[in-house]
Structure 1
Amino acid sequence: MDGPSSSKPRKLTGHELYRDVFKSPKFVVAPMVDQSELPWRILSRRYGAQLVYTPMINAKMFDSSHPTYKQLSFNTVFEEEGGPQDRPLIVQFCANDPETLLRAAKVVEPHCDAIDINFGCPQDIARRGHYGCYLQDDWDLVFRLIRILHENLTIPVTAKFRVFPSEEKTVEYAKMMERAGAQILTCHGRTREQKGHNTGLADWAKIRAVREAVSVPVFANGNILFHSDIQRCLDETGADAVMTAEGDLYNPTVLSSSSTPLPAEFSESDRQNLSLPGEDSFYLPHPFLARQYLEIVKSLKTPTAPSAIKGHLFKLMRPALSIEKDLRDRLGMARGKSAGLIEEYEGIVEEMDKRMKDAMKKVEGQSLEELVKVDPATGLNVLPHWLAQPYFRPPPIVQRVQKDDE
């Protein structure tokens, strides 16, 4: 009589994961701390996102006995996170200890399609905690973090990283991750020094170099502000998909296309006035999107962190908050818990909606194209302030020292 088989089921390769589970996505929403939580993932999918990530979860804290952090990071109690409306899904962890990472990943393994390791966070908290892109100097540790998940999980491991100043070093780093077992690589085309006011542009050429050097699927991250940037990025990088972070946060319809249905509150005849010539996507009034987001929050049993809700409302309504300063102040001062706080947010959104509709009436009859202005510093389009739209930081000021020959 044969004994029980000790062989493990074959794990999906990167291309099988990309094709068979993710259904060959082109539009991906990035992992964002305190911002790619469940309600936002649902809203993003509604407007074209084909694959989403959780916010970055600290493996050490998740592995600890602190139940509050664990349930706010990935709540398994109500079976909504990782449930049918939350797939396909990648859960992202940051870590610097392989065993701790494995224990944390094992908890969420049944609730997602892959585990991603964050090797890209450039913030000071990552430097102090020794994770994210601050592991770039310890390739052996990076290899071991990927390898332990590759060898011990039933689902694939993926990795997200930032480039080095050197293209050659960037490529070697990516190839090392592939050897370790990463089945999909997301390449953020900025270095770890490019953050905050020094963010600058992502280097798509380095992403293309990575794509040409590895055999696993590659996602390109960086420089996605408008829908028209997506195809340009795919063409210039050769990537399998495009990932957006801030582009989605400020305008969740950035991934929408002509095949994305408009909400029931709008008719197909409205699509022309909500789109720009040459763009396949549409723009929606930010109070409408804010209201939809709050409705999703209320519909879920899974609690949403108040900081996440407030952060989303500030970003969505940013174009008008610099004008409607009293609403900005009300939003900033909003405090409380649960239903009472949501009601306060709803009141702010409703008042914003009234004011934006009044502003729209003043330009009734004009097309969206006629209302667009061009930002003199960047040359990019600025839409009417009642529409959700990308936020772009002013380019870094380069101080030029003029040599005095006299």
Structure 2
Amino acid sequence: MSKLQGFEFWRQTLKEARFVVAPMVDQSELAWRLLSRRHGAQLCYTPMFHAQVFVRDSNYRRENLYNEVCEEDRPLITQFCANDPEVFVQAALLAQDYCDAIDLNLGCPQMIAKRGHYGVFLQDEWELLEKMVRLANEKLSVPITCKIRVFKDIEKTVHYAQMLEKAGCQLLTVHGRTKDQKGAMTGIASWEHIKAVRKAVGIPVFANGNIQHLSDVERCIQETGVQGVMSAEGNLHNPALFEGRSPPVWEMAEEYLEVVKQHPPCTLSFVRAHLFKLWHHTLQIHQDLREDLAKVKTLEGLADVSKQLRLRCQEIARGKGVEEKGSGLPLPHWICQPYVRPASKTVCQKRALEDSDRTADTLSKNKQKKRSRNPNKNFCPEQKPKYIKCDQCGNPKGNKCVFNLCRGCCKKKAYKEVADCPITLGSVTTVNVLS
């Protein structure tokens, strides 16, 4: 029997899924997927897996997919990042028996994706992408799907989507943001781009971006004509988003912890990250418990901190507790609700260097942590000692180097010229003996 394609795949295998949980690295693991399904999600994706590692490492396969096989967890799409057609297909062949489709990640905008040359950083290499999708479509027994980001130009985005469809993509998820819309510059996703893609292709399309409430889902479907809507951050802050409910945070946190216990093993860092997301607004106020949540090293410890947060919030809700300060949120901070990013600036400016009279509060979080470990460390650039630069690479030169070079450049010079430099004398002696 030939595999289902396009709309038949969406109707029969995915059961016309409209409410979709996004692939999220270290966050869309089995326990979270099951929780989301209990509260309205109709389709889930695995976290993004690295195709090359998946092929090479049996432990990676077992820990990230094989151990998570669960009858309740269907339909399920497994996502990979890859930049080599053969490696991508090898990984997909190893995963296809454990899911309903294979997704190629063409949307990750993070620096790790840039360094690894995958995700959205492949979006200009159409010949490579066409080959990857076409080969997967030919070799796999399950459909191949893609998740993309848009170009600034709508017409180019449409041609991009059409190229992937022609290559064999059977379902397309369009995140309505560009490669540069991330972090502080995230901004608003363009539903106009998504609408244009939907009109131009003959395969199902999911929309991603600007989803914070169930009303956003319904409005997005109406405005763009897509078959389904995918949520990432909205789902992390409120797993009941697709039910149209905003339950107390502790209700979702306790249910999630129960699912984790029922489906071990679950990496502790995943659980901690979910609790930080769920309790995000409350932890801005109760900073002491934020520190506790970061430090505890057991599942029981995480559950205990969550319980303490619940008790504090319930006291305040009953009027018996004292709120430390106003949250400025539309709902009480203990109710599941979206995190709204601060408005991005049109120009991204670097933070000014710290002045000598600044306090630790103005330092970055990373530097504050370093200062807590080493209170005497100097963070003022003006008071730091000035170093003479290496003549070749610009790094600080070695204190004893007669060539005005850093340790690395000095070693190379001493090796080539068989010269005696105090800083590399031991190395040169070794080289001379071996030669």
Alignment TM class, shorter chain as reference: 0.7 to 0.9
Q: Quote the residue 2:335 is aligned against.
A: 387
Identity fraction in percent: 48
CA drift of 1:69 comes to 2.5
Counterparts of 1:198 and 1:136, CA distance in 2: 20
- Check conservation: 2:208, 2:229, Cα contact below 8 A: yes
Q: Quote the residue 1:284 is aligned against.
A: 247
Report SS of the residue matched to 1:84.
coil
Matches within 5 A, 1:168-187: 168-187=155-174
Q: Quote the residue 1:72 is aligned against.
A: 63
**Structure 1 residue identity aligned to 2:319:** K
Q: Deviations over 1:103-141 (max 9, x none)?
A: 111111111110000000000000000000000111011
Counterparts of 1:328 and 1:155, CA distance in 2: 44
Counterparts of 1:117 and 1:170, CA distance in 2: 17
Q: Deviations over 1:178-213 (max 9, x none)?
A: 001000000000001000000000000000000000
Q: Deviations over 1:20-62 (max 9, x none)?
A: 1111111101000000000000000011000000000000111
Alignment partner of 1:195 is 2:186: no
Matches within 5 A, 1:339-350: 341-350=298-307
**Structure 2 residue identity aligned to 1:71:** R
Find the partner of 1:295 among 258, 276, 285: 258
Unaligned regions of 5+ residues in structure 1, if any? 1-8, 257-280, 336-340, 365-372, 376-380, 401-406
Unaligned regions of 5+ residues in structure 2, if any? 349-435
Alignment partner of 1:27 is 2:14: no
Report SS of the residue matched to 1:158.
strand
Quote the RMSD (CA, aligned, Å): 1.7
Q: Quote the residue 2:283 is aligned against.
A: 321
Q: Quote the residue 2:292 is aligned against.
A: 330
Alignment partner of 1:164 is 2:127: no
- Structure 1 82/89 Cα, relative in aligned 2: closer, same or farther at 3 Å? farther
Counterparts of 2:307 and 2:43, CA distance in 1: 31
Report SS of the residue matched to 1:384.
coil
Find the partner of 1:115 among 102, 105, 109: 102
Counterparts of 1:399 and 1:177, CA distance in 2: 33
- Structure 1 290/102 Cα, relative in aligned 2: closer, same or farther at 3 Å? same
Counterparts of 1:304 and 1:181, CA distance in 2: 35
- Check conservation: 1:72, 1:305, Cα contact below 8 A: no
Alignment partner of 1:224 is 2:184: no
CA drift of 1:67 comes to 3.6
**Structure 2 residue identity aligned to 1:36:** S
**Structure 1 residue identity aligned to 2:182:** K
Counterparts of 1:184 and 1:396, CA distance in 2: 32
Counterparts of 1:114 and 1:86, CA distance in 2: 13
**Structure 1 residue identity aligned to 2:43:** L
CA drift of 1:399 comes to 5.7
Alignment partner of 1:47 is 2:30: no
Report SS of the residue matched to 2:342.
coil
Size of the aligned set, in residue pairs, is 344
Q: Deviations over 1:212-262 (max 9, x none)?
A: 000000000000011211111111111111111000001111111xxxxxx
- Check conservation: 1:72, 1:304, Cα contact below 8 A: no
Matches within 5 A, 1:192-271: 192-256=179-243
Find the partner of 1:354 among 304, 311, 316: 311
Matches within 5 A, 1:72-111: 72-74=63-65, 76-77=66-67, 81-111=68-98
Matches within 5 A, 1:360-379: 360-362=317-319
**TM-score, normalised relative to structure 1:** 0.82
- Check conservation: 2:238, 2:336, Cα contact below 8 A: yes
Counterparts of 1:374 and 1:176, CA distance in 2: 47
- Check conservation: 2:327, 2:333, Cα contact below 8 A: no
Q: Quote the residue 2:121 is aligned against.
A: 134
Alignment partner of 1:309 is 2:271: yes
Report SS of the residue matched to 1:255.
helix
Q: Quote the residue 1:36 is aligned against.
A: 28
**TM-score, normalised relative to structure 2:** 0.77
- Check conservation: 2:55, 2:90, Cα contact below 8 A: yes
- Greater relative contact order (CA < 8 Å, ≥ 6 in sequence): 1
Counterparts of 1:137 and 1:218, CA distance in 2: 21
- Check conservation: 2:39, 2:239, Cα contact below 8 A: yes
Report SS of the residue matched to 1:36.
coil
CA drift of 1:149 comes to 1.0
**Structure 1 residue identity aligned to 2:98:** H
Alignment partner of 1:63 is 2:55: yes
Report SS of the residue matched to 2:102.
strand
Counterparts of 2:179 and 2:302, CA distance in 1: 35
CA drift of 1:332 comes to 0.9
Alignment partner of 1:16 is 2:8: yes
Most deviating of 191-200 and 224-233? 224-233
Counterparts of 1:71 and 1:199, CA distance in 2: 34
CA drift of 1:289 comes to 1.0
